Amino acid sequence: MTNRTLLERMSKKKTSRIPCWFMRQAGRYLPEYQEVRSKHGMLDVIRTPELAAKVTVQPLKRFDLDAAIIFADILNPLIGMGIELDYIKGEGPKIFNPILKPEDVQKLVVPPVEENIGYTLEAISKVKGEISVPLIGFSGAPFTLSSYMLEEGSPATGKSVKEFALNHPDAWKSLQEKLCDMIAQYAIAQVKAGADVIQLFDSWVGCLSPAEFDALVKPYLKVILSGIKSVSNVPVLYFGTGHCGLFSAIRDIGFDALGVDWRVQMSDVASVVGDQVPLQGNLDPALLFAPLDILENEVNRILEDATAIPWHIFNLGHGILPKTPIAAVEKVIATVRAYEKN
């Protein structure tokens, strides 16, 4: 690995280069990705190590990025637990047997990790031989995975997940424990296979109040973090969206770095979590559809604001959107590189 800037910033070392990567950087805005997807379904790509590795490396061949993220999804590890799902064209993921009652939780199993997602572990070792930047492994966090398993429609409101958690506290606890077990094993296996960083995606956590977060989420995040840290000192980043009211509750869990979406200023987050926590973010993915001069100004504004954080990692505030113009991605990276030189 010749470019370690992401790892250096995560371990609070000075770097003149600002590490820059994009969530969902391997995705549908890339014609070479679409070419692969025109021949293979989403689950086929994830489950075929050669294809997953190929797609992981695609954005690095095009852009000057400081990290790769292994190609998989947060939901496919649920299949081995007993959840039936597929990715429907134009709609996204669909779960065919959502959890509707406490007994449905009892049926879920935690399968041996190799058996469940061995293909991703194989893809990780393949990618490692091809890249000179750190490789990010990831998992969904328990709340967001529960949201998908419990909601029949979109998990945006959190209504079904809260209804279940509050009416069936024992089943909720059991579901969280099974997910924690799966997630910790999955993260550790990815690290053993070669992942240099673990990012936990908690995309739906923003529907919770701080008190709900403390009761329903926080204890389980602590279990996962200590599980990972008991076997490896790999940096663990926690990402959420719409969760600017939760940062003081998140702060003392002890994650190595935190992801920030665009609804809040990075410097405001730093004033809550302190300037000792590396922060990743936070360009609005929709801004990549703006005129390039407006985009450039916004990237510069974020970089300026992030001088409050000695260990800023440049990223979007959420995943890159389909149809994002390639020229916009190039503009963002060029703007970050130009800022470093000033």
62 is catalytic: no
4 is catalytic: no
- From the candidates 28, 62, 251, 263, which is the catalytic residue? 28
9 is catalytic: no
Phi, then psi, of 177 in degrees rounded to 5: -65, -40
Q: For the chain, what is the largest distance between any 2 Cα atoms, rounded to a whole number of angstroms?
A: 60
Binders in 130-189 for ligand CP3, by CB under 6 A: 138
Classify residue 313 by burial, with Cβ atoms within 10 Å: 0-12, 13-18, 19+.
Answer: buried
Task: Specify the residue, 137 or 278, whose C-beta has the smaller distance to ligand CP3.
Answer: 137
73 is catalytic: yes
**How many whole angstroms separate alpha carbon 259 and alpha carbon 237?**
7
For 258-294, b where at least 16 C-beta lie within 10 A, e where not — what string? bbbbbebbbeebbebbeeebbbbbbbbbebbeeebee
- From the candidates 33, 37, 66, 196, which is the catalytic residue? 37
Q: Using CB under 6 A, which of 25, 116, 176, 282 touches ligand CP3?
A: 25
Q: Name the token pair of 285.
A: 């993915």
Q: Does 235 bind ligand CP3 (CB under 6 A)?
A: no
SS (HEC) of 153-166: CCCCCCHHHHHHHH
Q: Does 324 bind ligand CP3 (CB under 6 A)?
A: no
214 is catalytic: no
Task: Specify the residue, 137 or 340, whose C-beta has the smaller distance to ligand CP3.
Answer: 137
Q: Using CB under 6 A, which of 203, 280, 282, 324 touches ligand CP3?
A: 203
Classify residue 184 by burial, with Cβ atoms within 10 Å: 0-12, 13-18, 19+.
Answer: buried
Binders in 254-293 for ligand CP3, by CB under 6 A: none
Q: Using CB under 6 A, which of 28, 173, 251, 331 touches ligand CP3?
A: 28
Q: Does 212 bind ligand CP3 (CB under 6 A)?
A: no
**Residues annotated as part of the active site:** 24, 28, 37, 73, 148
Binding site for ligand CP3 (CB under 6 A): 23-28, 37, 42, 69, 71, 73-75, 87, 92-93, 138, 201, 203, 318-319
